[in-house]
Amino acid sequence: MFRLASYLKFLLRSTNQHGLHSPFVYNFATKCLYTKKMHRDKTAAVLLGCIGYFKVGTLHLSGDGPWKKVVERHYPRLHYDRPPFDLFFTDRLGVPEFQRLLSQGRLHNDSMVLVDKIHGDPDRQRAWNALVALPQIRVSIDLFHCGVVSTRGEQEKEHFCIRI
């Protein structure tokens, strides 16, 4: 029931590419999120799309699921777990873990962090909202099935909800 209510709220506040006023996010949506999907699972499609769109060279994968096999099938030449990461994928990320990633130099200005299942339950949603509220997070994108955050210093702090 929580997931359904969360999805209905998401639908009310979300937009597609036509409601985006950030050139960075508009390009990400039109050239990555709305292109041909490489996988039927929405999170896997976003993960694979991000790797190609951002030309990811170093990747960290954590969490449950067959992520590494899926990624290796499409991108066999990636380097794993060599910080700083171009893309950090996890199924759970709270504020302390994110602060640790920053303080240890595991993320750079153009790193993207992809968090799976941000609306799975109330605890996950609270963790996502706390992460988005951090002053270091400049861009946050709620895709319902997953979320993307970045610390791009040149970007104004903005939050987007995008239907895919």
DSSP H/E element including 103: helix 95-103
The confidence score (pLDDT) of residue 1 equals 64
pLDDT digits (tens, 9 = 90+) for 65-106: 788 999 999 999 999 999 999 999 998 889 999 999 999 999
Could you tell me where the beta strands, DSSP code E, fall in 22-92? 58-61, 79-80, 85-90
Q: Which domains does the chain have, with CATH numbers?
A: 2-161 (3.40.50)
Kindly state the average pLDDT of the residues 155-162: 92
The confidence score (pLDDT) of residue 117 equals 92
Q: Is the pLDDT of residue 8 over 80?
A: no
pLDDT digits (tens, 9 = 90+) for 29-51: 999 999 888 899 999 999 999 99
